[in-house]
Structure 1
Amino acid sequence: MLAPLSLTTLAAVSSSAFATQYLTVEQAQQSIFPEANHFNAQPLQLNTEQMKQVEKIAGVPARSVAWRTIAAYKDNTLLGYVVLDDVIGKFELISYAVGLLPDASVKQVEILTYRESHGFEIRNANWRRQFVGKTANTGLVVGEGIANISGATLSCTHVTDGVRRIAAIAQVTLKK
């Protein structure tokens, strides 16, 4: 006869057992800006007015005043930025990076770590490619420029909302 599972055993078999790290931050930087020869951390702090602007543009809460931003350069020329974020999928965090051009348009989206048991299809290049060239004001909504993936609706929606938030932050604070 099998013994009942203990709480410790159940905790060990949680959904985080599905966690997959696809890229490190450094690998994502190189993937997004392969022509860059150096990256500089450029932490970003939003003030109250900027947070209100982000919320108005993105249609979602700005969520945080502090953002982990990395500027990509080729020699002395700014190529753009990589902004790192985490959103909740259904139950677990999805870590991702958004590459932005100096005009605040999306260059590339990379999934760094996916911890859910379902919905990992958001990692597919064809789905992520939908973000390229979009801004906070243009088509960064599931069903209106970004296709949903059956079985990954929450992951699609939350990552898309996160990318739109980051694009709004770029428009408010980073756009050249």
Structure 2
Amino acid sequence: MNQNTFAPLILSALAGVSGTAFATQYLTAEQAQQTIFPEATSFKPVNLQLSLEQMRQVEKLAGLPARSVAWRVAAAYKDDKLLGHVVFDEVIGKFELISYAVGLQADASIRQIEIMTYRESHGMEIKNANWRKQFAGKTASSNLAPGDGIANISGATLSCSHVTDGVRRIAAIAQIALLPAKK
């Protein structure tokens, strides 16, 4: 065989070894907002910047570091009435990022979560509606841990754990920084 015969074989072998070809985008940010708050007539960006004191409060309430000062948030309105907020975040699954959105009622309770992009080869079961429904109605003071209020999924253990941690962090941020009395 000559060199030209080996090149395609080597390239196809390298393509199989490098990079993940499992990324699936389920929803854009705009689609996630509309899915979580279908009755909303408008969404407005919220500039959420946590102070050092708020970051400490989030860590205490969530049992996790606040991780970031700036958060991507959209407020959902029906006409002039605030329905709640959508907070966008990413966590590591096993190796890759999972993008998700958390819908929060105006009282900071969780309305629903949506998986926006899943990049792992395993663990896509967290996209299942029954798993995601477990979060509805929970708050920062609820049991928000795999095996304690949230079921774990065999084969998706790290995805379950990391998304649940992220949701718990966002619930604490909502309690500390998004409730009207807290602003």
Q: Shorter-chain TM-score: which interval?
A: over 0.9
Provide, for residues 131-168 of structure 1, a one-character-per-residue CA deviation record: whole Å limited to 9, x for no partner: 00001110111101000000000000000000000000
| Aligned residue-pair number | 175
After TM superposition, the structure 1 = structure 2 runs for residues 39-78 of structure 1, keeping only pairs within 5 Å, are: 39-78=43-82
DSSP 3-state at the match of 1:158? helix
After TM superposition, the structure 1 = structure 2 runs for residues 94-173 of structure 1, keeping only pairs within 5 Å, are: 94-173=98-177
Looking at structure 1, the residues matched to 138 and 87 of structure 2 have their Cα atoms a distance apart, in angstroms, of 15
**Pair 1:8–1:141, CA change in 2 (3 A):** same
Query: What TM-score do the two structures reach when normalised by structure 1?
Result: 0.94
Looking at structure 2, the residues matched to 111 and 5 of structure 1 have their Cα atoms a distance apart, in angstroms, of 36
Larger radius of gyration: 2
Deviation for aligned residue 1:11 = 7.5
Query: What TM-score do the two structures reach when normalised by structure 2?
Result: 0.91
Looking at structure 1, the residues matched to 17 and 39 of structure 2 have their Cα atoms a distance apart, in angstroms, of 42
Provide, for residues 89-144 of structure 1, a one-character-per-residue CA deviation record: whole Å limited to 9, x for no partner: 00000000000011110001000000000000000000000000001110111101
Looking at structure 2, the residues matched to 61 and 55 of structure 1 have their Cα atoms a distance apart, in angstroms, of 5
DSSP 3-state at the match of 1:5? helix
Which amino acid in the other structure matches residue 51 of structure 2?
N
Q: Does 1:33 find its partner at 2:37? A: yes
Deviation for aligned residue 1:5 = 3.5
Looking at structure 2, the residues matched to 159 and 78 of structure 1 have their Cα atoms a distance apart, in angstroms, of 26
Deviation for aligned residue 1:83 = 0.2
RMSD: 1.8
Deviation for aligned residue 1:47 = 0.6
- 5+ long unaligned stretches in structure 2: none
Looking at structure 1, the residues matched to 22 and 62 of structure 2 have their Cα atoms a distance apart, in angstroms, of 31
Looking at structure 2, the residues matched to 40 and 115 of structure 1 have their Cα atoms a distance apart, in angstroms, of 28
